[in-house]
Chains A and B, each alone.
Chain A
Amino acid sequence: MRVEAIGEDAPFPFHRVVERARHPDLQRLEAARQGDAVSRLDNQVQVIREDSEVDDAEVSNAFPRRVQTLATPCSTHPVIFEVIQAVKQYGGAVALGPVDLFIDQGATIALLGTSGAGKSTLLRMLNGLVLPDAGEVRFRGAPIVDAPAVRRQIGYVVQGGGLFPHLDAGANVALVARYLNRPEADIAKRLDELCELVRLPRTALNRYPSQMSGGQAQRVSLMRALMLDCEVLLFDEPLGALDPVTRFDLQQDLRAIFTRLRKTVVIVTHDLREAQALTDRAILMRNGQVLQDGTVAELIRAPKDEWAARFVKAQS
């Protein structure tokens, strides 16, 4: 097994190396599972050298400070999410995992699969709404915790938008900014920007959710998720409940917005075309496991197994 080496003159940030070490084929991933790489990752001092495994004592002796510094998370990190051996159970039944998933900054990813495949659970793990029972989830190199401050950096749109019926559209979008006591002038400016971005008339901000169409509500919830200019956008079935025409319009707009903003985007969908239209990478899930990871085109051309083939065929 060839593993790239880093030492005191490491060519890559530490996490990148680990990912490269694992990603190319599953056998290596298995090896990493068997070995200590994952657990040592917790210590943030593990260095993987060519064909050799270094245990903790040697690590601390051989690479005291500088390597440890290299291994600590930094904000310019190109890998934004690391899901490592994450498992979630509900009432004894495994809903998800163990799953490994690495998401680069700026990637647009679709989690595909039928109901109950675990894709929504995986999505909720990314912002800490669901915490893994085993394994871990890291956001920019730090273990994700159930903390409001972390979630403010990760925009999230639930299925149907989840707008609060007691607030008008503007108040929905500005809710957290107002909670954080941001100046009203800044809020108004940001609202203008966002209206323009999602193509919502400024006057619609005075409407209550019950007075809006499904497409409008979805645009407003996107504005709400973007209000604090988060780096990541998570969507659960963004176009799920919309009629075909609205769906098509919004899909076009979303694609344009994603391209323009260059944000990391993860969407959950069971629609292969939606995945193709909105994202670059598709992860097909089944029974809580990742079945296939690649582009939608690859998925269509070369489904991993018979079930994947059926999933593709059913939608063509």
Chain B
Amino acid sequence: MGRPLRESTIVIALLLVVVVGSKQFTESVILGELATQALAAQGLKAEHKRELGGTRLLFEALRSGQIDVYPEYTGTLQQELVPGATDLKAALDKLGIHLGGPLGFDDSYAIGMQREVAARLRIATISDLRGHPELQLGFSNEFMQRKDGWPRVREVYGLPQAARGLDHSLAYGALRSGAIAAVDLYSTDAEIRKNDLIVLRDDQAAFPRYEAVLLSRKGLAPEASRALERLEGLINQQEMIDLNARVLIDHVPERQAASELLQRKLQLQPASASDGLAARLWKRTREHLFLVALSLGAAILFAIPLGVISFRRWRLGAFILGATGLVQTIPSLALLVFMIPLLGIGEGPAIVALFLYSLLPIARGTHSGLTGIAPELIESAHALGLPPGAVLRRVELPLASRSILAGIKTAAVICVGTATLGALIGAGGYGQTILTGIRLADTSLILEGAIPAAVLALVVEALFNLLERFVVPRGLRL
């Protein structure tokens, strides 16, 4: 069955499938996976668009109905998404969003210590730190500076220590060596388990609460809502830390980690085993080729006429080439983000962005190919009595074919490379694998995306070199 058919069936079935989104960090992906599997266990069709991007993007995608569910934190809602709302539930309700009950843990700023040191000094809460002014505290620079970070803790608890700013990646080493006694972290950080830390209880509520919740679109099917409600209160702090650690430290796929939890706590059937390397590669390759083929095909159909027009009318041509050149200077990430309010997320905006990027090389290749034709040849063609259309088809385009093909080749290679960024807005492809690899700091996963992308670029280039033999007339290759 061909890919286009699959695409169209997805479009048709879009209303029937519950689409779960997640942000670009591990905990969010795990929660998205939990929601997806809980829905699937209810017999619903659920699709997980993972690592879609940042908070704002997901929230807008939810509001516009491009996704149906995604995990969020109450702190983020209060600070960023519906600032100043006293009643979150009511404020979200007005936006057409249902605020689910807390999942059972919160992921806020916290202060952590090594378990045995804390036990020795009998420290369990942040207040307890007051009695130990000799302790060295080492905090990340961001935590040092944020108003809701160290300045607030210090004020609320009246802590006597002077804190040192240091890079987060160095903090755990410093902690182990005893150079510092406490660090800032997120309360569900996988590092807590890895380094055997404890989180000091925030007994005076200095930090804003970042309770994990599921946001869903109102009007979701009742069975879907019920499936999501089963997750409420299901995961406590320690369980979330373990889930994060399963993925980040044990390198277990999110799907499997989520499935283990659901099996243990809700006795749900385990999700099907994750795909093997070959199946994964094949799926990503298909997605990637789909993005490249569609955008490049459309660009060829559009940019060659653009090149011809800019050759015929140089004033208009200067404008056309200038405009396509301007598109080229927009950073690809920015272009993708611009597309979201217009086209939402998924393959659509990615294809449009790639299409726009492909215009310049092809239009310019066509234009320079035509401009490079000796004037006496064009004059001869007209003098022979060929009408302008026939001159274009039989003389000008064949003579410019090498340059046009070179333009298309450049566009194709750019497309293959840029398409990896499409994963940021849920378009799939090799970028998805790379993105996951970056998030998990898993080099082998990054390479699993990057190597095929590079190979594909080389293959595309080789194919075009081969194509030149068929497209460029023999007389021009002598």
Contact = CB atoms under 8 A, between A and B. Distances in A.
Interface of A: 127, 129, 148-153, 156, 158-160, 162-168, 175-176, 179, 208-211, 221, 224-225, 228
A207 to B, nearest CB: 9
B386 interface: yes
A211 B478 CA distance: 9
The B interface, classified by DSSP as helix, strand, loop or mixed, is helix
B399 interface: yes
A151 B398 CA distance: 22
Nearest to A230: B385
Contacts of A148: 382, 385-387
B478 A210 contact: yes
Given A164-B377, A179-B394, A158 B383 contact: yes
Contacts of A160: 376
A167 B386 contact: no
A175 B394 contact: yes
Contacts of A211: 478
A164 to B, nearest CB: 6
Ordered nearest first, which 7 A-B pairs have the shortest CB separation? A162-B380, A152-B385, A166-B473, A156-B383, A151-B385, A208-B475, A166-B475
B395 A164 contact: yes
B191 to A, nearest CB: 66
Contacts of A150: 385
A119 to B, nearest CB: 16
Contacts of B381: 164
Contact of A162 (B376, B386, B401): B376
B380 A165 contact: no
A153 B390 CA distance: 17
Contacts of B398: 164, 166
Interface residues of B, number: 22
B474 interface: yes
Contact of B384 (A152, A159, A166): A152
B379 interface: yes
A210 B379 CA distance: 19
A176 B383 contact: no
B476 interface: yes
B385 A176 contact: yes
Contact of A165 (B385, B390, B399): B399
B383 A165 contact: no
A163 B377 CA distance: 7
A158 B376 contact: yes
A165 B386 contact: no
B317 to A, nearest CB: 21
Contacts of B386: 148, 175-176, 179
B475 A158 contact: no
Nearest to A221: B380
Nearest to B385: A152
Contact of A224 (B384, B401, B473): B384
A164 B401 CA distance: 14
A209 B478 CA distance: 10
Contact of A208 (B377, B384, B478): B478
A159 B475 contact: no
A208 B475 CA distance: 6
A312 to B, nearest CB: 30
A163 B475 CA distance: 11
Most A CB contacts (10 A, CB to CB) among B379, B395, B401 go to B379
Given A158-B376, A162-B376, A209 B383 contact: no
B385 A208 contact: no
Contacts of B390: 179
Interface string B406-417: 000000000000
B351 to A, nearest CB: 34
A208 B398 CA distance: 14
A166 to B, nearest CB: 4
Given A162-B377, A162-B379, A167 B384 contact: no
12 contacts: A129-B379, A129-B383, A148-B385, A149-B385, A156-B383, A162-B376, A162-B379, A164-B380, A166-B395, A175-B384, A210-B475, A224-B384
B382 A167 contact: no
Nearest to B399: A166
Nearest to B379: A158
Nearest to A227: B384
Nearest to A179: B390
Given A148-B382, A179-B390, 10 more contacts: A150-B385, A151-B383, A163-B380, A165-B399, A166-B401, A168-B475, A176-B384, A208-B474, A208-B475, A225-B384
Most A CB contacts (10 A, CB to CB) among B381, B383, B401 go to B383
B379 A165 contact: no
A210 B377 CA distance: 14
A151 to B, nearest CB: 4
Contacts of A166: 395, 398-399, 401, 473-476
Contacts of B380: 156, 158, 162-164, 221
Contacts of A168: 475
A241 B475 CA distance: 22
Given A179-B394, A208-B478, A210-B478, A151 B382 contact: yes
B376 A165 contact: no
A165 B384 contact: no
A159 B383 CA distance: 13
A262 B78 CA distance: 96
A120 B474 CA distance: 33
B93 to A, nearest CB: 68
Interface in B437-470: none
A29 to B, nearest CB: 30
Interface string B361-393: 000000000000000110111111111001000
Contacts of B401: 166
A164 B382 contact: no
Contacts of B473: 166-167
A163 B376 CA distance: 9
A176 B391 CA distance: 10
Given A129-B382, A159-B376, A165 B394 contact: no
Most A CB contacts (10 A, CB to CB) among B384, B395, B401, B475 go to B384
Contacts of B377: 162, 164-165
B476 A156 contact: no
A225 B473 CA distance: 23
Most A CB contacts (10 A, CB to CB) among B380, B390, B395, B398 go to B380
Interface in B253-270: none
A243 B244 CA distance: 84
B470 to A, nearest CB: 14
A219 to B, nearest CB: 15
B403 to A, nearest CB: 13
A218 to B, nearest CB: 13
Contacts of B476: 165-166
Contacts of B395: 164, 166
A165 to B, nearest CB: 5
